[in-house]
Amino acid sequence: MRQKRSDPRSTEQLIQFALNEADDDAAWEPVMVLHFRATSEVLETAKRLCIGAAPRERKLGADILGQLGVPDRAFPDECFHTLARMVTDETDSEVLESIGIAFGHLHDIRAVELLAPLRHHISADVRLGVVHGISRQEDALAISVLIELSRDEDDDVRDWATFGLGSMIETDSPEIREALVARLADTNGDAKGEALVGLARRKDDRVLDPLLDELTSENVGLLAVEAAEDLGDPRLVPALMALKDGWRDEEDTHTKRLDSALLSCSPKGGS
């Protein structure tokens, strides 16, 4: 963090590096520097990029505005309004995805109505940007869009939309639960795992049998163990104990999560 704050390069030098660097990871490094710098000069430069002729310029502008000022946000209203003006006229898929992600970082409820029409966009990347942009919002429209995108044909869109419904909001409703139940049969293991967690957090009994099946399968993921911890049902203890025997050589984060799940599910831990 200190190194980024003290980077000697000018704002324009950082912009040119980000625009011309072919490696995405390397190109993101100067963007992070600009996030920390967060001066009015950076804001105005980003706003100029957002109306640039080249999609790469507009994408960079959105990427900068999305996290301008970390850990404390800088110029949030100016960032929002610039992105709001962009989203109505933008046609490039990569730029639209970045706008969606930027809105998600701003966590502004006003973005939901702007992004909702893009849930039908032909590009899965844009639809994924919509998911990132509206997740964590308890708004009825946001939840409706996430429910719809949890049925998306794209694996990543379904996965992240299910995560948004299951774990990123506190709202509970029959519609949310039914959307999560539908994902229990998903061929995408991550989407299924997020559904398990979401239902377990809501103490929905329909999760018990699928969760037992998952915990006794050949390849048990951390999401299933997390769901067991959230559900806290003693009937899961035998499966968790058997898993503990097989996970002795797993990395520490896995075994700690498993121990937490066992504590939660044991009669003593749940009392």
> pLDDT per residue over 131-181, tens digit each?
999 999 999 999 999 999 999 999 999 999 999 999 999 999 999 999 999
Using left for φ > 0, alpha for ψ between -120 and 50, and beta otherwise, residue 203 falls in left
Residue 270 pLDDT: 44
Q: Give the Cα separation of 106 and 102 in Å (integer).
A: 6
Q: Give the Cα separation of 44 and 10 in Å (integer).
A: 14
Residue 115 pLDDT: 98
Given a contact cutoff of 8 angstroms between Cβ atoms, the answer to whether 78 and 45 are in contact is no
Cis peptide bond N-terminal to 30, omega within 30: no
Residue 249 pLDDT: 66
Q: Give the Cα separation of 251 and 265 in Å (integer).
A: 22
pLDDT per residue as tens digits for the range 185-195? 999 999 999 99
**Quick one: pLDDT band at residue 271, thresholds 50, 70, 90?**
very low
Residues near 89 by Cβ (< 8 Å), separated by ≥ 6?
A: none
Q: Give the Cα separation of 146 and 247 in Å (integer).
A: 35
Beta-strand runs (E) in the chain: none
pLDDT per residue as tens digits for the range 199-249? 999 999 999 999 999 999 999 999 999 999 999 999 999 999 999 888 876
Cis peptide bond N-terminal to 71, omega within 30: yes
Percentages helix, strand, coil for the chain, rounded to the nearest 5? 75, 0, 25
**Quick one: pLDDT band at residue 86, thresholds 50, 70, 90?**
very high
CB atoms within 10 A of CB 237: 17
Comparing CA positions, the residue from 50, 46, 98 lying closest to residue 69 is 46
Given a contact cutoff of 8 angstroms between Cβ atoms, the answer to whether 224 and 211 are in contact is yes
pLDDT per residue as tens digits for the range 37-54? 999 999 999 999 999 999
Comparing CA positions, the residue from 89, 43, 88 lying closest to residue 65 is 43
* Percent of the residues in the chain that have a pLDDT greater than 90, as a whole number: 90
Amino acid at 120: H
- Indicate whether 62 pLDDT > 80: yes
Predicted TM-score (pTM) of this structure: 0.94
Mean pLDDT value across residues 60-68? 98
Rounded to 5 degrees, what angle do the CA atoms 247, 250, 256 make? Answer: 85
- Indicate whether 269 pLDDT > 90: no
Buried b (16+ CB within 10 A) or exposed e, 37-76: bbeeebbebbbebbeeeebbbbbbbbbbbbbbbeeeebbe
**Quick one: pLDDT band at residue 1, thresholds 50, 70, 90?**
low
Transcribe 178-203 into DSSP letters: HHHHHGGG-SSHHHHHHHHHHHHHTT
- Indicate whether 4 pLDDT > 80: no
CB atoms within 10 A of CB 259: 14
- Indicate whether 21 pLDDT > 60: yes
